[in-house]
Structure 1
């Protein structure tokens, strides 16, 4: 299936992916400004970002219930909540209040994230086609565009709140087009058995590795370029933008590759490629080399998270799909608990070069996890799985 046909089929959740990408790309480009207005050290700023992680993980547990209550309006509610939540952090100068504001951001972002991924997984099962990479590619593309625009607005001296408010207005216009009813599937006699804890744990840990790596580069790449390598504001914003651009390319390419190769093969290759990029970024002598490293890292890590989320949707019974994706996302997004804090502590103690070296080691952990997950029996879309591996 081509990227365009995949996006046409999943256009409603794809729009939700764009919304999340726009806001997080804007935030990544403004990290140096927001960190400065808080007067926080690396370690403290990393700890403050735990606020968003707290909200994210809380939303992951609440998302299945919210999805049942809101039904077709669940994604719309998530978009509106996210637009409102993101107006708070750019205006705050007190560290504690900033952490609380980021918790509201995480709560809204997490709710929307689970619901939109569940909708994509439902469409994959209904049409027996891979769709996850194309949708995550839209997130990365929106993230990159937003980071680039934010870099120019920073150079022009626009306050962060003006940029975030502008994005909120754009995203609110999209709300009427994001309505999509969930697919309600009842359990059958073939679905009896134990709760699929092992598939959720393995796939969740794969997603954890990917999202921890993404989170560290998103939050710290601009600082690495500006502080370690002496770049300016626009050069710093190009760091997360480069990550977003190459992740979009990787995910759109992964959409095509996913129809031809097994998940384990893709994750094996992606883990090695992304680790190589992290090493290049760590030892870069100038911004240009750092961009190369971020780009290679983005190409590799781009497909690991979507593959993990898509994989669990095929390893569990259909009536458990939304709940399984939610639980997998809980494990994956818990990386936002550890990544900012660990990156801040490592940067404070050893510098950002060593911290990015740690990202490379983390990415290699995806390889054995993917091998173990590939040995589990597939319970959904079995014909699609067999066609890829035959």
Structure 2
């Protein structure tokens, strides 16, 4: 199936993924500004980023109820709410407590949309028999890169943070009209009696996705600071760090759409982990921004497919009537790590410096190798 066809089949969820990408691409490129604005060190800034994790965790558990209650309107309403909340860091993030609260709310509404859109992709995959997770996550990366570059240009032009985040809110709002989609009917009553979930499968796939998103999140939140502070780059050069990650992740995920038809999910995860580990080590040791871009780009190519493959693997190995519940729980584990990682990165940067903190990310990514050989995910296709 061509990439264009896959985009057309899942156009509603593609718009939702782009809305989330616009949100965090802007935030990643604005991280140096927000940190300087409130005047805190790396450790405190990293702890403030825990606000997104706390908000995400709370809302992720509420997301299934929101999905059932809103039905076909869950995606567009979730994106509209995210558009409003995306403006908060601009005008509320003037002190450390206010920045924490704004990230708490933003993380919550981002998590709400995250769970619903991944569940929708899984439903469409089950209904059509097509592999669509990679192409949807690829469009998140495209939107992320676009947002980071636009934000960097607005920073260079001297726009205030309030204006930059407001523009991002409008970009998110522009995706809302495209997000209405049909919803899978509830399963027959005779299929809902067994409520037990395959917890070992959830744990293994969830941990794989967790590690992938943690590796991605550390670059998103800290690459601009690494380039600007450690390597002496300017604002536009710093913004190009997360943009490079977004661009190469999009390339990796679009390529993964084709690779997924030829190799098993676990084989792809093992190869991709090697690329990601090598890339983050190059970025950690980079003597100049150019080498950092190369490292972050290589990491993006690798880490791009691990998360989508983990979600797809969990959905494929789950019973049909439990698929959405399994996907939701794997997403809970994975996306919590997406927001925990920047905080842990801040603590590591304060204690050992950004170079060694990025080296620690390489060790974390390498854990996916032994996980991919676990018997809980063994029944995968050849």
The answer, yes or no, to whether TM exceeds 0.5 is: yes
Matches of 1:74 and 1:276, distance apart in 2: 39
Shift of 1:150: 1.0
Shift of 1:184: 2.3
Structure 2 counterpart of 1:182: 183
Shift of 1:377: 4.2
Shift of 1:194: 4.0
Shift of 1:97: 1.5
Conserved? CA contact 1:271–1:363, under 8 Å: yes
The residue correspondences of 1:66-145 to structure 2 (distance < 5 A) are: 66-91=66-91, 92-145=93-146
| Residues 193/110 of structure 1: CA separation in 2 closer, same or farther (3 Å cut) | closer
Conserved? CA contact 1:73–1:181, under 8 Å: no
Matches of 1:86 and 1:337, distance apart in 2: 16
Structure 1 counterpart of 2:160: 159
- Indicate whether 1:34 and 2:34 are aligned: yes
| Residues 84/189 of structure 1: CA separation in 2 closer, same or farther (3 Å cut) | closer
Conserved? CA contact 2:201–2:377, under 8 Å: no
Residue by residue over 1:197-243, the C-alpha shift from the partner in whole angstroms, topping out at 9 and shown as x without a partner, is 11111110000000111111000000000000000000000100000
RMSD, aligned CA: 1.6
| Residues 373/170 of structure 1: CA separation in 2 closer, same or farther (3 Å cut) | farther
Conserved? CA contact 1:202–1:373, under 8 Å: no
Aligned length: 380
Shift of 1:173: 3.0
Shift of 1:325: 1.3
Superposition TM-score, scaled by structure 1 size? 0.94
Conserved? CA contact 1:13–1:119, under 8 Å: yes
Conserved? CA contact 1:121–1:313, under 8 Å: yes
Superposition TM-score, scaled by structure 2 size? 0.96
Residue by residue over 1:293-320, the C-alpha shift from the partner in whole angstroms, topping out at 9 and shown as x without a partner, is 0000000000001111111111212222
Structure 1 counterpart of 2:9: 9
Shift of 1:276: 0.1
Matches of 1:80 and 1:212, distance apart in 2: 26
Conserved? CA contact 1:264–1:374, under 8 Å: no
Alignment partner of 1:303: what SS? helix
- Please list every run of 5 or more consecutive structure 1 residues that lacks an aligned counterpart in the other structure: 379-384
| Residues 336/47 of structure 1: CA separation in 2 closer, same or farther (3 Å cut) | farther
Shift of 1:338: 3.2
- Please list every run of 5 or more consecutive structure 2 residues that lacks an aligned counterpart in the other structure: none
1:334 to 336, 354, 357: 336
Alignment partner of 1:265: what SS? helix
Structure 2 counterpart of 1:219: 221
| Residues 375/219 of structure 1: CA separation in 2 closer, same or farther (3 Å cut) | closer
- Which deviates the most, 227-236 or 55-64? 55-64
Conserved? CA contact 2:246–2:300, under 8 Å: yes
Conserved? CA contact 2:200–2:376, under 8 Å: no
Conserved? CA contact 2:89–2:165, under 8 Å: no
Residue by residue over 1:17-45, the C-alpha shift from the partner in whole angstroms, topping out at 9 and shown as x without a partner, is 11111111011111100111111110000
Matches of 1:210 and 1:19, distance apart in 2: 20
Matches of 1:110 and 1:183, distance apart in 2: 21
Conserved? CA contact 2:197–2:322, under 8 Å: no
Conserved? CA contact 2:26–2:165, under 8 Å: yes
Matches of 1:173 and 1:45, distance apart in 2: 31
Conserved? CA contact 1:10–1:120, under 8 Å: yes
Structure 2 counterpart of 1:382: none
Conserved? CA contact 2:215–2:361, under 8 Å: yes
Conserved? CA contact 1:133–1:303, under 8 Å: yes
1:264 to 241, 260, 266: 266
Conserved? CA contact 1:28–1:222, under 8 Å: yes
